[in-house]
Amino acid sequence: MPHRVLLVGALPAETLPLVRALERPRPLGRRLVEGRLAGEAVAVLTTGVGPRRAFERTMGTLRGWPARGVVNLGTCGSLDDALGIGDVVHVDRLLDEEGPVGALAPLGRPAGTLVTVRRGVWDPATRATLAARGARICDMEAAAVLAACRARGLPLAVVKVVSDQAGAGVDRALPSPGSRPGPLAVARFHARAWRLVDRHLGPLLPALARGPTR
């Protein structure tokens, strides 16, 4: 029986490389495309950025597209100087801004802890605070996707590729501390995210299409 896995990403730049890999893709809405990948039935969901959107849109999708498991894919910021752009992390522990939210069964190595935040991490002080809690990477969706999976009784795996150093140094795709990203920085970041997902997560898709186990 097909594993029927939902692949969840935040940005179109993160999910379009996944959609391009599908066999016989079929749009089910503006944010959801189903198809087959390595013989498995999968769907790709683009939630938009942030925990609220990630939770609500994952929940809504799971009501209408009953999956057997969920994989959250995409980019993340590095809180660990040992992790550089392009490094892949299979998350084994999730935090949010209040504390631990759960342990996961990683699909591969290297594994690490991810913290989900409500706002982008663009300055060294915030980066250091989050790293001191044991997190190696940060994003804005994974903990919310886990909450949706728990509400539906489904297993989740989280696999991220590092796209930036979360404000540890100058980066033309990130804003200066205290400011918001301008349109040029946003365009640079989206182009980078597309390349990283395609190059570093794309080769993992046949294995990820089988999804997590409980």
* Domain boundaries, given as residue ranges, for the chain: 5-208
> Rounded distance, CA 211 to CA 214, Å?
10
- Predicted local distance difference test score (pLDDT) of residue 187: 87
- Predicted local distance difference test score (pLDDT) of residue 94: 95
Give pTM, 2 decimals.
0.92
- Predicted local distance difference test score (pLDDT) of residue 1: 41
> Rounded distance, CA 72 to CA 83, Å?
19
CATH code given to domain 5-208: 3.40.50.1580
- Predicted local distance difference test score (pLDDT) of residue 121: 84
- Predicted local distance difference test score (pLDDT) of residue 185: 75
- Predicted local distance difference test score (pLDDT) of residue 167: 78
- Predicted local distance difference test score (pLDDT) of residue 214: 59
- Predicted local distance difference test score (pLDDT) of residue 12: 95
Helix/strand/coil for 76: strand
Mean pLDDT by 10 residues, the chain (214 residues): 82 94 93 93 95 96 93 95 94 92 84 92 89 95 96 95 85 64 79 94 92 74
Determine if residue 99 is left, alpha or beta; phi over 0 gives left, psi from -120 to 50 gives alpha, anything else beta: left
- Predicted local distance difference test score (pLDDT) of residue 176: 61
